[in-house]
């Protein structure tokens, strides 16, 4: 891909400590091998929010797939569908949500950034529901962010790439701050979602609601109390709060707090099938991948996306066989070597 796209896809926030930590924390974990386990009938199937999945790997939401391939999110959806994988479509997709849904045969969820214009946000949620999306994923961890490496690269969206599903929205007013005042507190946070918006979203949409970006057990408990249907443990791939812990480090604490009341998913640094096993052992029902499938999309379009998923599924099955786990339910904390 070109340097402009690479600057957008690869960067994290600030000094990128959390971006690196996501991988380093997964690499520190070791798996406990087991031998001579009966593996007849082994499989990786699971159920999430009423839908059946062949294996516990979904595509995380990411903006502007047309940066990487001319067909954008349609190409991604075709690759995911070929591998019967779930895909979460971003609010900032570069293809209309309806067109993606028409081309996909696998389950789609819709990722939502609540906009300052709540009426427009409501219409966007209703468009996704009408198009057949199966769940709503509210991203809650980036009301503001600062990605210095992207800034230094001078990233700009090229002609023909835009957040097409936000067309028609009245733009937010400029920050109210005077030069000596804070633009963050007087402008950039205007319209950012709060806990009050959870009940509002539940009132306008019949779709199951997941919160993406939970890293605190206290926030996880609040989310459960607010009636959400699932939680995605995530630090936004290191693109939100720098020096935050790795997602895999936060996962067991949140799993202990939630105690199985809602399904947990996790993203952040997943690169191998062994990473998937580690996440499931520490409390996740499934994982999301981001940069890996975007790299596959840039290299080979739908085939590249499908190939990345195929690699991960094969590696997951091998790791399960070598740790003595015939099903996902067999992947318990005892799989982690202590």
Closest CA to 18 of 335, 237, 282, 232: 237
Q: Strand (E) positions, 163-206?
A: none
If you write DSSP's letter for every residue of 45-76 in order, what string do you get?
-EEETTEEESSSEEEPP-S-GGGT-TTTHHHH
Other Cβ atoms less than 10 A from the Cβ of 315: the count is 17
The per-type count for the chain, helices as H runs and strands as E runs, is 11, 10
Q: Read off the tokens for 149.
A: 């490496």
Q: For residue 194, give the 3-state DSSP assignment.
A: coil
C-alpha span between 185 and 165 (Å, rounded): 27
Q: Are 62 and 289 in contact (CB under 8 A)?
A: no
Alpha carbon distance 324, 318 (integer Å): 10
And the tokens for 142?
């980036």
Q: What is the DSSP code (8-state) at residue 157? A: P
Measure CA of the first residue to CA of the last residue in the chain; give whole Å. 41
> What's the DSSP call for residue 17?
H
Active-site amino acid positions: 236
**Token pair for residue 326?**
């015939």
Pairing of strands 57-59, 286-289: parallel
Residue entry with tokens 């600062």: 146
Given a contact cutoff of 8 angstroms between Cβ atoms, the answer to whether 93 and 63 are in contact is yes
- Torsion, CA 141, CA 96, CA 286, CA 37, rounded to 10: -160
């Amino acid at each position: 891909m070109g340097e402009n796209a690479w600057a957008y896809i690869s960067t994290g926030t600030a000094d990128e400590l959390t971006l690196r930590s996501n991988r380093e924390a997964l690499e520190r974990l070791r798996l406990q091998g087991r031998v001579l386990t009966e593996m007849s009938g082994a499989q990786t199937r699971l159920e999430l929010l009423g839908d059946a999945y062949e294996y516990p790997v979904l595509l995380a939401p990411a903006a502007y797939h047309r940066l990487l391939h001319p067909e954008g999110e349609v190409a991604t959806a075709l690759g995911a569908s070929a591998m019967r994988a779930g895909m979460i479509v971003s609010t900032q997709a570069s293809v209309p949500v309806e067109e993606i849904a028409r081309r996909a045969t696998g389950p789609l969820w819709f990722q939502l950034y609540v906009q300052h214009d709540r009426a427009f946000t409501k219409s966007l949620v209703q468009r996704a529901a009408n198009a057949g999306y199966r769940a709503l994923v509210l991203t809650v961890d980036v009301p503001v962010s600062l990605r210095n490496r992207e800034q230094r690269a001078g990233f700009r969206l090229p002609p023909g790439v835009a957040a097409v599903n936000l067309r028609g929205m009245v733009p937010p007013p400029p920050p109210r701050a005077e030069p000596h005042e804070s633009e963050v507190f007087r402008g950039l946070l205007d319209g950012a979602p709060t806990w009050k918006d959870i009940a509002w979203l539940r009132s306008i949409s019949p779709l199951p609601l997941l919160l993406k970006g939970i890293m605190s057990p206290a926030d996880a408990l609040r989310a459960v109390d607010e009636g959400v249907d699932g939680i995605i443990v995530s630090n936004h791939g290191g693109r939100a709060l720098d020096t935050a812990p790795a997602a895999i480090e936060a996962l067991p604490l949140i799993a202990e707090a939630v105690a199985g009341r809602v399904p947990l998913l996790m993203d952040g640094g997943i690169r191998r099938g062994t990473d998937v096993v580690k996440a499931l052992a520490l409390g996740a029902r499934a994982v999301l991948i981001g940069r890996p499938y975007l790299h596959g999309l840039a290299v080979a379009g739908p085939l590249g996306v499908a190939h990345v998923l195929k690699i991960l599924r094969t590696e997951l099955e091998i790791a399960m066989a070598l740790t003595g786990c015939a099903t996902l339910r067999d992947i318990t904390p005892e799989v982690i070597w202590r």
